[in-house]
Every structure is written in C-alpha cells, then in structure tokens.
Amino acid sequence: MQIAVVGSGYVGLVAGACFADLGHDVIVVDNDQKKLSALNRGEVPIHEKFLPELLHRHRGVRLKFSDDLETAVRASSAIFVAVGTPPTEHGEADLSYVESVARGISGAINSYKVVVEKSTVPVYTSDWVRKIILRNGAEAEEFDVASNPEFLREGTAVTDFLYPDRIVVGADTPQCAAVLREIYAPLADGSYYMRPDAIPRPDRAQIPPPLIVTSAKSAELIKHASNAFLAMKISFINAVASICESVGANVQQVCQGIGTDSRIGPRFLSPGVGYGGSCFPKDLMAFRAVARECGYDFRLLDEVMRINEEQRHRFIRKVRSALWTLRGKKLGVLGLAFKGGTDDIRESPAILLIHSLLQEGCQIAAYDPAARERAQEALNSSVTMTEDAYEAAQGADALLILTEWEEFGALDLNRLKAELKYPIIIDGRNLYDPEIMAAAGFTYYSVGRPAASPEPISGRAADTRTKKGTRS
C-alpha cells in the first residue's frame, strides 16, 4: 500500500521505516529542510536500535522523504499524522500542528483516503480533524479519520512497532478499518515473522499480536489511559519505596511479592528518581486537562504527578544526608538521558536533579553513553562531560547513578573505588545489590532499600538504615 507519514520525529520516522519493512511504499513528509537533507544523506537523527538498519534497507527504494504534503496525499491511501503535540502553558495538548496538517490534507484529497492520528491526542481530536477537513472543501464520503495510537518506547521503538503487545485501530467505518487491517496484515497474520530478514524477535514477544478494532474515540482514550496507568504504577511503587525507607524494609522484596500476582505483574514497578521523557509528563497533564474539560476531576493524576516530583526532592535529601553539606562538593554523575538506551533528555529527572545540585553549589562531572551532546547544550558549560564512568568518578566526594543504562550496572567496582575520593554511591536506579556494594567497600544508598556500608552508618544518614548483614 502507498502510505504517507507526516512528521519525521521519533514516531513518524520509526513508523515510516517499519511500514516500509512491512512491504509498503512510504513517503515521510516534513517541512524541516535541514532534517530532510540529513535523512536523504543517510544520517540517522535519533539513537534508536535497528533504525539505522531499516533506513539503510529502504531509503530511496520503499522509503522516501519529501516536503510536498499535497503530492504525498494524492499518491497515498492512508496518511498517518505524526506531528508534535507539545503542551500549552495550561498543560493541554497544543493541536495547532495537527490542525494545519488536516487543512493541508483536505485540499489534496483526490480519492478515498484514511487520515490516521498517530500522535498522542486528546479524545475529541478525531472529530475535530474530520470537521477541519470538511470545512476546507473535502466531501464526507472521500475520507475517514482513524486513530491508531503507538505504544513505542524510546530506545526499543523499532521492536515495539514490529512486535507489539497489541495493535489498536480506532475506526468508525468498515471501509476505514479494512484499510488499517491491510496495512498491519503482515504483523497480524504473522507473515512478517516468517521472513529471514525480519528484525529479531525480542524476549517476551507474543506473535502474532492481536489487532483490536475500536471506535476512534476509544482508541484515543486507550493511549492516554495506558500512559497514565503506567505512570501511576511507577508513582505507586515510589510511594511504597518511601515507606520501605522509613521502616527499614526492602522495596525489591516487596516488588517481588506483589509483582508475582498475575493481576499486577512485575513490569513498571522499578522505583527510582521518578519518570521523565517526552511522553508521561506531557500526557498526564493533557489527560488531566481533557478529563476536566469533560467534567471529570481526575485528582488521582495530580497525586501521581506530585509523587513523581517529590521523588526528586527525596533524592536530593538523600544526597544531603550522605554528604552533610553540599556547597563545594564534587559529584560524579552517571546518566543524563531520561532513561537508559536513549539520547533523549526531555524532562529527564537526571537533568532536573543536576540543576538542583548546581544551585546547591555542587561541582559536577557527568557521563552518559549517548546523551552528552544534547545535555551539554541544556546545561551550558556548568557541567564537565567525561569520556567514561570512571573519569566522572575521579576525585569525587560521591557518585550518583541517575539513569538505568545497562553498562552502569556492570562497572569495575575496584577501579571505581580507586577513582573516587570517598567510596560513596547514591544510586537512584537500584542497579546494584547493597550487600555486594558494602562487601566491595562502598557506602551505598539506593531507593527503598536499606543503606549498606562496610562500617555502621551514623547520624541522619537515613531514612536508609544500615543493614546489619551488610557489614563486612
């Protein structure tokens, strides 16, 4: 099928490359000339596993880049809208880019088209897109508007697209549903997975995935409700972790105990410095705003957001209780991205924490495997960026772990200890076993677990009590 994807950000680019891998002919449309030239030159603008392979495989053959929306619409049966929906100052989604694309599509409709919302949008958006297209001259029977939300995580977006838990198609007419079924047929009928050149199957993937057909409005709600539920799970476990710290329990054991209940499940129960990224914070605010507009006061979401913010304040208090005063302290920081496996620093808890620590007068040397360049722009020259984790630790009063990159969980502990001025680690992502850290000679603080140290920890150091068994 011939498909147009409008917007070449995370979602548009990954969707375009994956549709091409399913065998469709795809035109990705963007009005950013610099981005288009870079994509045409073969550059890959984001750090995303398997994306370089897919772009290399299909660029110029089944995947083209263009700034000409009209031609792309005329040539295509389905047009996926994947433009940005940034938050307004009141927390609502700004839909002006979606509206302007809808206007552009309207003038180019020359036969039956399915216009598909791929960006995360509030529940009434499909109605509005329809109105705008009609208002600009298209005939009602010439198009349908569908909602096909994505559930891609940054870092694993390509495998999430090709091996999804489910495909949600929000279509209000049988003709529209049929077009979307055809597009996803290679996944839903399993034929993609038989191909020798298919992107490798990740652990846990169930194939073929179910394709769920709903109304467009239900699909819009599914996206917001999914992200809100996942964020709620994270805030819930962070709240439980705080209680664990007060009573000397271990949140990891608690997680094991509750996560094995199949109704709850073990995933998204990792406590830490709070969720970040371009999705959860923005989507929670937007969902809250939509609910309010619909007459429902969704205060549960306020609490999810409050706990998330409090989690960062707690972490700063933990650093202070480990080091006493902060002014002039030298800190090594591991992790700048909002999570491991990405170079994205949008709403990164690590960046927000660094800002607070700088305000407290700390000096910071930081390392991130992928996000250094982006972080340097956001932090100006206030932070020294290092080439590896050990350099960040050099001469530091303590080392902070703020992002769950895999490599941060496999450091050479002897080397790390030799680099640090004091062997103190404050781990905001629970990457190490406290007992092992104490045995290796570190004073180790984490989230929701007792602090561990070769020596008893004295004074105010903790909501994080010393665990007897951890003394070596």
Q: Which residue has the tokens 């914070």?
A: 281
DSSP 244-311: HHHHT--HHHHHHHHHTSTTT-STT---SS---SSSHHHHHHHHHHHHHHTT---HHHHHHHHHHHHH
Residue choice 124, 128, 268, 298 for contact with ligand UGA (CB under 6 A): 268
At residue 173, the 3 state secondary structure works out as coil
Number of residues that bind ligand UGA (CB under 6 A): 21
Output the CA torsion sign for 189, 193, 198, 202: positive
Output the CA torsion sign for 194, 196, 197, 200: positive
Here's the x/- map for ligand UGA, 71-90, by CB under 6 A: it reads as: --------------------
Q: Which of residues 136-165 bind ligand UGA (CB under 6 A)?
A: 150-154
DSSP 355-406: HHHHHTT-EEEEE-TTTHHHHHHHHTTSEEE-SSHHHHHTT-SEEEE-S--G
Contact status, residue 123 vs residue 221, Cβ threshold 8 Å: yes
Residues annotated as part of the active site: 279
User: Encoding tokens for residue 94?
Assistant: 């700004």
Q: Is 339 in the site for ligand UGA (CB under 6 A)?
A: yes
Residue choice 230, 240, 255, 305 for contact with ligand UGA (CB under 6 A): 230
Taking the C-alpha atoms of residue 279 and residue 300, their distance in angstroms, rounded to an integer, is 18
Q: Is 270 in the site for ligand UGA (CB under 6 A)?
A: yes
Q: Is 128 in the site for ligand UGA (CB under 6 A)?
A: no
Here's the x/- map for ligand UGA, 102-121, by CB under 6 A: it reads as: ------------------x-
Q: Is 450 in the site for ligand UGA (CB under 6 A)?
A: no
Here's the x/- map for ligand UGA, 288-327, by CB under 6 A: it reads as: ----------------------------------------
Q: Is 448 in the site for ligand UGA (CB under 6 A)?
A: no
What's the closest the beta carbon of residue 58 comes to ligand UGA, in angstroms? 22
Q: Which residue has the tokens 């939300």?
A: 149
Q: Is 419 in the site for ligand UGA (CB under 6 A)?
A: no
What's the closest the beta carbon of residue 273 comes to ligand UGA, in angstroms? 7
What's the closest the beta carbon of residue 75 comes to ligand UGA, in angstroms? 28
At residue 4, the 3 state secondary structure works out as strand
Which residues contact ligand UGA by CB under 6 A?
120, 150-154, 227, 230, 234, 268-270, 272, 275-277, 279-280, 283, 338-339
